[in-house]
Structure 1
């Protein structure tokens, strides 16, 4: 009897979508077709699903059941799952341990840094954690700095570089149990007094700078300075060759990811620790925290709600992958060979409990930075409708970029009626342009909107997807 009640309740939950789909149009609006034609893109490249969320009829379903690559709109599946499966107030922890006695400020033993999968262990948080260690009496470490990276059972996935360019781009950084500052370094180059100065933040000893930049005597600073970066790996670290030219009084900056996770984490710890007046006399190595080690200090991450907002507003791939593995780590079973497999299993089971089977859904890393990930527009719309009814609907919706106002949508659809009226996640790969999220129409009614374009030459596709949003907004007056 209880099972029958649950089935009836689930049917009632999905009924509005079924009714909307029954009344939905399967014909693209004329202006969307015109935008496709103007950009020489076939109608078959576009999948669209728009669903009214207030019980009204209407909507659009075009190629809605085609398996497509969603690019970064896949982050919506990962972040919504995290809100419900981990909980909005879930936190990650990072800890320092010791295996020897502390006497007169000297730790006679090794110092262990144990990562807990924190997606947002930035330099400020690491500085506070090390400062706390200093306040608790540690001044000098006689032993080694040992990094415990055992929190995740990480999958072995193929490297992804969409344009085959610089592999040191920060958005390509892979997840790690001990992810420090997204493994990114900022390099600031400035020309002052006839000389070029290059600063590195954080300052990590394993990275050396070969400054080959020339000073120009120019009247104005260019929008895109002629500065080039070339990283060369060597046995004892990495040399960054900086070349090009820079006008006197001008500056340039870039972010690069040059080191592996252990080298970066250890380098950041040693750099901050030295600034705080501390010393670590031993070497750097990776290993587990011994059972009898005692915890010295601990730091907690922001809540999932804040993490989800960072991921969706700015389409942070590394944090999304970190979140995906965190779901797997939380619910890992003996049958799961790694945390990606566990996350896939758990998310499918979670969706099934909502009546969403999603046969086209393929999640490789949960970020959309993948050639393997797939979903259909209908499946994405079903997930968005379920999210609209979630207890955490407000948190999920507000995590997405506001049209023409912030995040990855801040420059789109300006000076249109949609300014501030839609929360839309974007997605971009070389052959993909996508949007998905929630939008109001001219009557103040809410809609789930999904538009995904897969095409070998998707140039100009942004205008097509924006037109889908404009058509969704322009509903007949009621």
Structure 2
């Protein structure tokens, strides 16, 4: 079982801290019937005047997805912004007259962003090398990560097929998700799946309805997977008006089934034939490399992680840190990542007080941080050579990512790069925001409460209160 690691350190001392919440934040808490003690807040001026606010700053709290900032900043400095992952195809037999006489090995390198398009290009490259038929097996090499026994997490309970719960894997393809599209045309309802996998059968029971003036925002279509051994039947029920559409993403298969099924589906579309079975094994030492695919660089990967709060990619990156620096003392790559991040913080003279890491994504009941600790990390990142890459990876208020619908038509729109965090009992923000004078602030606000309804409005008010600093006096004298 994975054991979490705790980093204890004395909190930094900041002069002239204000330990009272801004008045409008207090009002927002009362309006939404939330206890002020549930909120931890730190706001630090970075390049202009202003007073530090530190409220409940040293209380360990669950940070939800704001912990991704620790993972992604550590990766930028430890792996480097140009870091990439590779996925490779090997053969253990000769190629004659378009036939590969032997097995095809697909070796995963932990790529967080091996999507359908890049896998298609990899297999297309194999076809261009003259391979038409593979007489042997499709062998999946998933040995890159030393996998931890991660605790299962399900915030809502019930549906384990939601893509945000997909676990990391050495051979992660397309985030292990299928897109199911339902459309009503010509008096019939049609369903398609992408990628089309042999192990997933569709039982379409959706009733067509006459056309309506407008299609509903939330179509009355339900999806129920029925698992039967190595296959799944997806029962789709409900009703859909003529000309309307519905779609969803589901993760119905385990990693090996999904990877093998996707490879076979694409290989068929490319006109190839694969005669053998699917199995898992390591690439033999005497196998020869056929083709290789390289991932986008780390900067693009952390942008996906932070902008869209992608849990699977964050966990994949966390294990990549562990795999890159694994030693004999590490029980698995999660333990290695915990150790490496702790040592990195210590080297920077920036140990984060009471930090508890589990999987680096925030999809955890164990992970902990203090608002002061996370704000200190943001302070450090502001001075990093990779500050621009780190800051731009976060959602822009009112414009994109998980902040695209927040703070619209306010003075903060477009002026804050903010990572959000959400669990059933957590609402959080962390990042950088500007004030009315154009000065930048590091801000962390985390609310842990059994019923955090309205908490997002409270956190938005934190950013508005930071913006509403006293205006600086500017000289109008001519030079």
TM-score category, normalised to shorter length = over 0.9
Query: CA 1:68 to 1:293, structure 2 compared with 1: closer, same or farther past 3 Å?
Result: same
- Asked if 1:166 corresponds to 2:165, the answer is no
Stretches of structure 2 that go unaligned for 5 or more consecutive residues are 1-11, 473-479
Tell me the distance in 2 between the aligned counterparts of 1:414 and 1:281: 56
Q: Secondary structure at the match of 1:290?
A: coil
Write out aligned runs for 1:20-39 (5 A).
21-39=14-32
Q: Secondary structure at the match of 1:419?
A: coil
Write out aligned runs for 1:68-467 (5 A).
68-220=61-213, 221-467=215-461
**Worse-matched range after superposition: 221-230 or 367-376:** 221-230
Shift >4 Å, 4+ stretches: none
Cα contact 1:24–1:57 (8 A) shared by 2: no
Tell me the distance in 1 between the aligned counterparts of 2:329 and 2:58: 31
Give the CA RMSD over aligned residues.
1.1
Q: Secondary structure at the match of 1:453?
A: strand
TM-score (norm 2): 0.95
CA deviations 1:235-266 (Å, max 9, x no partner) are: 24111111111112211111111000000000
TM-score (norm 1): 0.95
Q: Secondary structure at the match of 2:15?
A: helix
Tell me the distance in 2 between the aligned counterparts of 1:251 and 1:409: 26
CA deviations 1:65-95 (Å, max 9, x no partner) are: 0000000001000000000000000000000
Cα contact 1:23–1:57 (8 A) shared by 2: no
Q: Secondary structure at the match of 2:283?
A: coil
Tell me the distance in 1 between the aligned counterparts of 2:251 and 2:232: 11
Cα contact 1:169–1:257 (8 A) shared by 2: yes
Tell me the distance in 1 between the aligned counterparts of 2:353 and 2:414: 34
Offset of residue 218 of structure 1: 4.1
Write out aligned runs for 1:11-22 (5 A).
18=13, 21-22=14-15
**Worse-matched range after superposition: 74-83 or 157-166:** 157-166
Tell me the distance in 2 between the aligned counterparts of 1:70 and 1:298: 38
Tell me the distance in 1 between the aligned counterparts of 2:229 and 2:369: 43
Offset of residue 415 of structure 1: 1.1
Stretches of structure 1 that go unaligned for 5 or more consecutive residues are 1-16
Q: Secondary structure at the match of 1:133?
A: helix
Q: Secondary structure at the match of 1:403?
A: coil
CA deviations 1:414-436 (Å, max 9, x no partner) are: 11111111100000000000000
The total of aligned residue pairs comes to 461
Offset of residue 57 of structure 1: 4.5
Offset of residue 267 of structure 1: 0.4
CA deviations 1:348-387 (Å, max 9, x no partner) are: 0000111122231111110001111100000000100110
